[in-house]
Structures are given as C-alpha cells and as structure tokens.
Amino acid sequence: EDQVTQSPEALRLQEGESSSLNCSYTVSGLRGLFWYRQDPGKGPEFLFTLYSAGEEKEKERLKATLTKKESFLHITAPKPEDSATYLCAVHAATGNTPLVFGKGTRLSVIA
C-alpha cells in the first residue's frame, strides 16, 4: 500500500531560523512527488513537482529535494508569511491510483 509520512507534525521557528521538513514515502514506482502549501480554510496551493532521485527545485526561500525514499522541503531564512501547512503527496506509476497525501507539517514562523 502506498504511504506518505510527514515529519514533524508541527514546527515553530523564529524568523530567519532555517530548517527542513521531511516527507518519507513508500510507493510501487514513483510517478511524481508533489509539495503543496495550505493556508487555514483554503485549498492547497501547488509548490513543486519532483520526478526522480537527485532532482531539486527552488522557489524563493523554499527548496525541495528528492531521494529514493524521501523528500525534504528546506526553508531558508523563513518569514512570518511562510507560516502554513505544507503537504506532500505522491502518485504511483501503477495505473491511475489516487494521489496519496501525507498529513502535513504545520509551520509557524514567529517574528
């Protein structure tokens, strides 16, 4: 069964304090790994797609990396506006199986 585990569940950072969020996955052939940001009461907003081990993507203070078993979302010098829940999801290569989401990491950045 395809599974996605995100850690930590919650993370509190001071403004400027860099850190990383983890997404571990087990899937029968990875078709794509996705990172989303979700603000309270809103729909998830797409951030990155990663397709193969070794791939990296960057956007402003965020950088996503991928290995064969996990992905990291690195946040460099975060600001309060980076506070949100970050969701990881995977799509398996077998058939049209649903996108499997992790439960998310709730990030709070304190000024």
- Residue placing its CB nearer to other proteins in the complex, 44 or 78: 44
- Residue placing its CB nearer to other proteins in the complex, 18 or 108: 108
CB of 111 to other proteins, least distance (A): 27
CB of 51 to other proteins, least distance (A): 7
- Residue placing its CB nearer to other proteins in the complex, 46 or 60: 46
- Residue placing its CB nearer to other proteins in the complex, 5 or 77: 5
Enumerate binding residues for other proteins (CB under 8 A). Answer: 31-32, 34, 36, 41-46, 49, 51, 87, 89, 91, 96, 98-99, 101-104
> What tokens were used for 83?
């506070």
CB of 71 to other proteins, least distance (A): 15
CB atoms within 10 A of CB 77: 12
